[in-house]
Chains A and B, each alone.
Chain A
Amino acid sequence: MECNHEASSLMHKYLDGDISNEEEKKLRLHLEDCEACQKHFRELKRTITLLQSTEHIEAPANFTANVMNRLPTEKKRMKYGRWFKAHPIITAAALFLIFMMSGVFSAWNQDSELVVSKQDNLVIEGDTVIVPEDVTVEGDLVVKNGNLVIKGTINGNVTLINGKLIENPIESEGLMASAGGVNGELKHVDQIFEWVWYNLKNLFRSIFAF
């Protein structure tokens, strides 16, 4: 057996626990004959013993506390992400609410044009709707994005959205203006929440109408 290479490679196999029974026998036989290899083997084993005898070092005091202090605070995005994953139903409800609200808001913002429910005999001047003196409107009247002047009579409910009811368009006609009348409810809607409320009420009313 060649001392330098083969024997030393067997020694390392032995030290790694990789050696087969046959190889071990071969190594033992060689070691009995070869003093140089015996010495080599002893030195290797002693090296390992020395390495294993070294004492362990302890981490400095406060090491854990220092690490904990240096940890990044959790990102808010992460926190929310985890929260959403943990509460899928609330997340779904919130999303639904957001879409619904945005739908209502865009409906509110979209039409800034004057809209008047279809009634005969109404006079429209710019963004003012006038119910002339001698006219009686049968049914409900809805005016959106415009003012309403009532000189005649309305036999129904009046809804004003984003507009004003002008009682006295011309001062000299003050007395005459009072001649106008509404034989029904007069509703005024010009805040967005009222608009939402109005829409919801309409929705429920239409549901219960069935």
Chain B
Amino acid sequence: MEQFIREKIKKVKKGDQSAFEDVVSFFQSKIYQHCYRMLGNAHEAEDIAQEAFIRAYVNIHSFDEKRKFSTWLYRIATNLTIDRIRKRKPDYYLDAEIKGTEGLNMYSQMADEGRLPGEEVESMELQRYIHQEISELPPKYRSVIMLRYLEEFSLQEISDILDIPLGTVKTRIHRGREALRKRLRHV
């Protein structure tokens, strides 16, 4: 697969726009998922994920072919999501408590998606709960935890993606794990 992507990137660099289509369709779900987990909503996730691919295309000549393309792409996507989170106003957060209520936030105001009977509901509830706990982590821990456990990058790759030292990656992973342990202890 690595080789397949490498060939496609070479073609894109030579100006073959159609070769980029294969690259997008190969990575689309991964990048979309990454953005979705970082941002917590589908609309922004699609917007930012598309933007990430477009940036990659426009700047393809600055990509060093000795490196891994996926690392480079995730880096663009991560930076874009972090920018987006920074630009958000605090009152856009869905999990912010609504004034004058106790324990009510925007999540509880949203209509539930179609429910399924029995065990599936339970597993979906659990999934949703886990994702909500992840999304409540501060972005710097969230990105590291996601890259490690949802997208299964090595610590060194995460260090490359986020452009931070390996030691910092470890510290953030330790803290992220501890934070999630406390949140998910009662599940």
Contact = CB atoms under 8 A, between A and B. Distances in A.
Interface of A: 8-9, 12, 15-16, 18, 40, 43-44, 46-48, 50-52, 54-60, 63-64, 66-68, 70-72, 74, 78-79, 82
B28 A63 contact: yes
Interface string B34-64: 0010000010001001100110011000000
A64 B21 contact: yes
A57 B32 contact: yes
Contacts of B31: 59
Interface string B135-168: 0000000000100011000010000000000000
A57 to B, nearest CB: 4
Given A54-B130, A67-B53, A47 B46 contact: no
A58 B27 CA distance: 10
Contacts of A67: 24, 28, 50, 53-54
A52 B170 CA distance: 18
A70 B127 contact: no
A80 to B, nearest CB: 11
Interface in B159-187: 170, 173-174, 177-178, 180-181, 184-185, 187
B50 A74 contact: no
9 contacts: A9-B174, A51-B149, A54-B131, A54-B150, A59-B29, A59-B33, A63-B28, A67-B24, A70-B54
Contact of A71 (B17, B145, B174): B17
Interface size class of B (residues with CB under 8 A): 35 or more
B42 A47 contact: no
B150 A43 contact: no
Nearest to B28: A59
A58 B49 CA distance: 12
Max chain B C-beta neighbours (<10 A), residue from A43, A50, A55: A50
A60 B42 contact: yes
A22 to B, nearest CB: 19
Interface of B is mostly: helix
Contacts of B131: 54
Contacts of B24: 63-64, 67-68
Nearest to A57: B33
Contacts of A58: 29, 32
Contacts of A12: 170, 173-174, 177
Contacts of B155: 16
Contacts of A74: 15, 17
Interface string B120-135: 0000001100110010
A43 B15 contact: no
A21 B180 CA distance: 27
A119 to B, nearest CB: 62
A44 B181 contact: yes
